[in-house]
């Protein structure tokens, strides 16, 4: 999948309409906007590992839900964020939007977020603290902390006037009862700011709660940081009776032993006792921090080098996977005459022969459009820096390569290609060009209003789904134009690649309403390591796997052969390759059923008529409604019998919540077309949630104008903390074509413990050159990870030396391993106010060596937002004086792995 930019950088506001069931809240970073906080390739853990491990999080850690890393793809949250009684939260606030000073030529935007609102249950003896930190912006703003009790009376209101130096503190009054408090952090100026908001008992403020990781450490020893005035002479004595200093390992950093440890033979007792001792050390006023003295050991294991496909690639595997041979028996015409638009890089034009790629030329129609150059000749000029894969040619070949005795064939081998160029030589484009192209295809720019195509393939992405011009209701937004095209007389069908960043975050245009989103599978029908997943996925199709022999999708392309540029076939992998399989099958269906529209396709999909997922279809976040089955799809289209079904929004009722909180959800059932259904039964399959149907009389007639709305709520007393349960809300209904049909909505319930709820925000894991250039460390490799059950799991893969290079590929060498958040989206991690982890202990970096053919696994670090006072006497303690942070890498424009043949 290639990338689109909106021409403005990362945008923040807007929310699209909810037609079918897709979430438009969060999107992926825009490639051309300078990939700061929210970028990265986001790959899942590959089969071949160079380095992997886990990052633990300090207990009680939370993150502001609309920090700048999130706001680049979503709108400002208006919801009140619930917090546990004791917490450390990192946040972001800004009174205006703008850009940071350029960083190595890249521009990173920040976003307006004036107010952050939280809720916490607190009692006397607790103190709520706010500390502010300046970002990379040139100036700083004051922040205001407001705490309000249940009565509505302001408990306290304070302003921090000096970022990073002053602290606002609110102590819960001694005569107050246990009650809920509303906390508000407000920006009083235009500059972006980071802050740490925390709540602790007054008597334990000096001892941050800490969840020690399970790494092995030396019993009865610690690493401590002391203020200069508290360090004694090197005679082994200390101002603290709880420890003896042993060795200064860095300025201000010492190893220490317990003053009296007693005789212990049980290792488990020693470990636990040591942890308690270190916790007590953290209470000492003269001790900045104390950590276990971890034991580092080699955990290398041999790994094999990856085996890549042979030079000669066949198409059999990916066409047989979608039941192609039977599909073509049912539809032998190959979709003759059905116009299919491919919005991409254009098509390869052989200037020697004066024709398009000769496997496509027989099917290229009379109309075409180039939104990049503004003409009607969408030639793919190839990459301006070499190595072009002729992406649009490859996608078009999977859809419509002709059966002409040369090379391969497309799924709809007799369809009419409508080439539309929206991406430039670098494989990137703009939102403006895409909007213009979709408007042109839908006929809105033509005097007769006639559409130019009936199927549209979009093997591109990267648009922020929350931007108003992408998903908003403005008549000129991309969503609005697609809505009109889908609902118009032509009933255009849009298909889009889900994305190649192995994330559940939706990317647009695939996540827009009216667009069929396609994930990628390998030859075994399993989701590929690079494919996106989540609740925006509709269907899966073959995308290829470069790590397996013969598993790339082979299609038309171009390359230098015998010194000249000419037609070839090439193997690629990506969701870009999966989407045209679906577009081709829809083209064949459209030939068989000329009035086929989007809502009928979705009805077939839900009924299990297009895939292998059963009847009714059991949906998953990986494959949507299943792996494409071309033969079943053709049988459905030839029968012409579209099932009258009900659909649910949202498709999953998530009742997970933290212990002590309640949770509820509302499910809305509507028909997929202009018909009605009679609901005869409503039932829940779990005793741990309640179904609200008090005001619903059965049978209930459901139509487009009269949807059925049902509430479900969690019964916390029926659950054990930490245990996840799954049930269903099931409704039974009759329609014109269905009797006793069922819609089942999964209901997930869980009382989440703090261990599971811990969240320090999206983390960027970096391998950096340990030898800085001046004051700057060079980042060599980068992995992007999100929290799962209170921890982060990261993985780097060996650099195979083949372009393009993934961000998480790492060559052999010696590195510092670091990780952290970029909550202000300035392209840096580990500066004041942001989470940071350094291996093995923050502030005490040690080099780690990557060796070819060997894997280092089981690495463990801990990330935290706690920050000691800056001291020139302890330059390795974070944040270091003059240390701006570690710099993030930029995401490449295309994450697809390529191989080519003649």
Check if the beta carbon of residue 619 is closer than 8 Å to that of residue 651: yes
Could you tell me if 835 and 786 are in contact, meaning their C-beta atoms sit under 8 angstroms apart? no
Q: Give the active site residue among 357, 391, 394, 581.
A: 391
CB 469 within 8 A of CB 16: no
**What is the phi/psi pair of residue 569, to 5°?**
-110, 145
- Count of residues making up the chain: 902
Burial label for 425, CB within 10 Å (0-12, 13-18, 19+), is middle
Q: How many CB atoms lie within 10 A of CB 111?
A: 26
Handedness of CA 255, 259, 264, 268 (dihedral sign): negative
Alpha carbons 39 and 10: distance in angstroms, whole number:
11
Beta bridge partners of 684: 729
Backbone angles phi, psi at 688, to 5 degrees: -90, 0
| 522 catalytically annotated | no
CA-based radius of gyration for the chain: 29
591 given a catalytic annotation: no
Q: Is 656 helix (H, G, I), strand (E, B) or coil?
A: strand
From CA 65, how far away is CA 80, in angstroms rounded? Answer: 10
* Residue 339 and residue 452 in contact, taking contact as beta carbons nearer than 8 Å: yes
Determine the longest span between alpha carbons in the chain, in angstroms: 93
Cα–Cα distance for residue pair 475/481, rounded to 1 Å: 7
What is the distance between the alpha carbons of residues 589 and 127, in angstroms, rounded to a whole number?
A: 65
**Cβ–Cβ under 8 Å, residues 83 and 56:** no
Distances in whole angstroms, Cα of residue 692 to Cα of each of 21, 665, 682, 796, 899: 22, 10, 10, 48, 56
Asked if 28 and 37 count as a contact pair (C-beta separation under 8 A), the reply is no
Q: Please tell me the distance from the alpha carbon of residue 356 to that of residue 340, in angstroms, as a whole number.
A: 16
Distance of alpha carbon 323 from the chain centroid: 32
Assign 134 to helix, strand or coil.
strand
* CA angle 810–814–815, rounded 5-degree value: 75
**C-beta atoms surrounding 341 within 10 Å:** 32
Beta-bridged to residue 794, according to DSSP, are: 53
DSSP 697: P
CA distance 672 to 676: 9
Residue 354 DSSP code? T
Contacts of 536 (CB under 8 A, 6+ apart): 22, 23, 498, 506, 510, 511, 517
Rounded to whole angstroms, the Cα distance separating 458 from 438 reads: 10
| Exposure on the CB side of residue 452, measured as CA atoms within 13 A | 26
The Cα 697–Cα 682 span in angstroms is: 10
576 is catalytic: yes
Annotated catalytic residue, options 439, 576, 795, 900? 576
DSSP state of 773: B
Strand boundaries in 610-697, DSSP class E: 646-649, 653-658, 664-671, 677-684, 689-692
SS in 3 state form for 785-814?
A: ECCECCEEEEEEEECCCCCCCCCCEECCEE
**492 and 437 in contact (C-beta within 8 Å)?**
no
Residue of 56, 69, 142, 344 marked catalytic = 344
Tokens of 871: 């001291």
CB–CB of 60/319 below 8 Å?
no
Judging by DSSP bridges, how do beta strands 813-821 and 836-838 pair with one another?
antiparallel
Give the active site residues.
344, 391, 576
């Amino acid at each position: 999948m290639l990338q689109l930019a909106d021409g403005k950088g990362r945008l923040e506001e807007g929310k699209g309409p909810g037609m079918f069931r897709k979430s438009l809240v969060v999107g992926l970073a825009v490639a051309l906007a300078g990939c700061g906080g929210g970028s990265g390739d986001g790959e899942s853990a590959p089969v071949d590992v160079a380095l992997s491990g886990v990052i633990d999080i300090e207990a009680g850690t939370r993150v502001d839900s609309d920090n700048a890393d999130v706001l680049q793809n979503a709108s400002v949250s208006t919801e009140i964020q619930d917090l546990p009684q004791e917490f450390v939260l990192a946040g972001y606030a800004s009174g205006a939007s703008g850009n940071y000073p350029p960083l190595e030529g890249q521009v990173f935007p920040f976003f307006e977020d004036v107010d952050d609102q939280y809720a916490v249950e607190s009692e006397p003896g607790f103190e709520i603290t706010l500390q502010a930190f300046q970002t990379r912006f040139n100036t700083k703003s004051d922040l205001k902390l407001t705490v309000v009790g249940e009565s509505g009376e302001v408990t306290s209101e304070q302003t921090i006037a000096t970022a990073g130096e002053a602290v606002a503190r609110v102590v819960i009054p001694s005569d107050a009862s246990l009650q809920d408090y509303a906390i508000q952090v407000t920006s009083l100026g235009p500059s972006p700011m980071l802050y740490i908001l925390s709540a602790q008992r007054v008597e334990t403020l000096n001892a941050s709660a800490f969840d020690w990781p399970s790494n092995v450490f030396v019993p009865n020893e610690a690493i401590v940081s002391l203020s200069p005035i508290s360090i004694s002479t090197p005679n082994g004595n200390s101002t603290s009776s709880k420890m003896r200093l042993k060795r200064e390992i860095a300025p201000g950093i010492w190893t220490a032993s317990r003053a009296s440890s007693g005789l212990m033979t049980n290792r488990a007792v020693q470990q636990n006792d040591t942890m308690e001792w270190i916790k007590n050390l953290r209470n000492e006023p003269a001790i900045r921090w104390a950590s276990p003295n971890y034991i580092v050991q080699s955990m290398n294991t041999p790994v094999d080098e990856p085996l890549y496909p042979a030079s000669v690639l066949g198409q059999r595997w990916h066409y047989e996977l979608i039941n192609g041979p039977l599909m073509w028996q049912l539809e032998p015409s190959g979709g003759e005459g059905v116009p299919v638009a491919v919005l991409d890089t254009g098509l390869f034009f052989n200037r020697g022969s004066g024709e398009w790629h000769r496997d496509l030329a027989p099917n290229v129609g009379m109309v075409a459009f180039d939104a990049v150059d503004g003409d009607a000749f969408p030639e793919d000029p190839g990459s301006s820096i070499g190595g072009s894969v002729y992406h649009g040619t490859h996608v078009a070949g999977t859809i419509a390569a002709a059966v002409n005795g040369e090379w391969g064939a497309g799924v709809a081998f007799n369809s009419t290609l409508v080439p539309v160029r929206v991406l430039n030589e670098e494989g990137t484009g703009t939102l403006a060009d895409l909007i213009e192209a979709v408007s042109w295809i839908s006929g809105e720019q033509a005097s007769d209003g006639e559409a130019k195509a009936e199927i549209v393939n979009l093997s591109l992405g990267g648009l922020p789904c929350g931007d108003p011009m992408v998903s908003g209701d403005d008549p000129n937004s991309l969503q609005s134009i697609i809505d009109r095209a889908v609902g118009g007389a032509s009933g255009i069908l849009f298909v889009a690649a889900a994305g190649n960043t192995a994330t559940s975050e939706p990317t647009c245009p695939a996540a827009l309403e009216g667009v069929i989103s396609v994930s990628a599978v390998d030859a075994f029908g399993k989701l590929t390591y690079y494919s996106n997943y989540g609740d925006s996925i509709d269907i899966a199709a073959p995308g290829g796997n470069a790590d397996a022999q013969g598993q790339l999708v082979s299609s038309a392309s171009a390359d230098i052969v015998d010194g000249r540029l000419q037609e070839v076939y090439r193997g690629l992998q990506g969701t870009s390759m999966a989407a045209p399989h679906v577009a081709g099958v829809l083209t064949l269906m459209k030939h068989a059923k000329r009035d086929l529209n989007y809502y009928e396709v979705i009805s077939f999909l839900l009924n299990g008529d297009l895939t292998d997922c059963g009847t009714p279809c059991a949906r998953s976040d990986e494959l949507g409604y299943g792996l494409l089955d071309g033969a079943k799809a053709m049988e459905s289209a030839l029968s012409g019998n579209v099932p009258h079904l009900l659909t649910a929004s949202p498709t999953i009722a998530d009742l997970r919540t933290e212990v002590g909180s309640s949770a509820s959800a509302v499910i809305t059932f509507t028909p997929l077309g202009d018909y009605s259904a009679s609901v005869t039964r409503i039932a829940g399959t779990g005793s741990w949630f309640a179904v609200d149907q008090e005001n619903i009389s059965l049978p209930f007639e459901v139509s487009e104008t009269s949807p059925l709305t049902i509430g479900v709520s969690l019964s916390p007393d029926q659950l054990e903390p930490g245990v996840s349960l799954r049930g269903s809300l099931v409704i039974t209904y009759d329609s014109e074509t269905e009797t006793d049909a069922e819609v089942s909505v999964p209901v997930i319930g869980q009382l989440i413990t703090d261990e599971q709820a811990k969240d320090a925000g999206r983390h960027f894991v970096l391998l950096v050159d340990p030898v800085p250039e001046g004051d700057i460390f060079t980042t060599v490799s980068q992995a992007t990870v999100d929290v799962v059950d209170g921890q982060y799991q990261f993985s780097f893969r060996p650099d195979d030396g083949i372009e393009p290079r993934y961000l998480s590929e790492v060559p052999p060498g010696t590195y510092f391993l670091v990780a952290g958040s970029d909550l202000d989206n300035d392209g840096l991690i580990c500066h004041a106010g942001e989470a940071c982890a350094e291996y093995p202990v923050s502030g005490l970096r040690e080099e780690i060596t990557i060796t070819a053919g060997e894997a280092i696994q089981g690495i463990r670090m801990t990330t935290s937002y706690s920050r000691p006072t800056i001291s020139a006497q302890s330059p390795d303690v974070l944040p270091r004086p003059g240390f701006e942070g570690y710099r993030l890498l930029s995401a490449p424009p295309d994450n697809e792995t390529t191989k080519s043949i003649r």
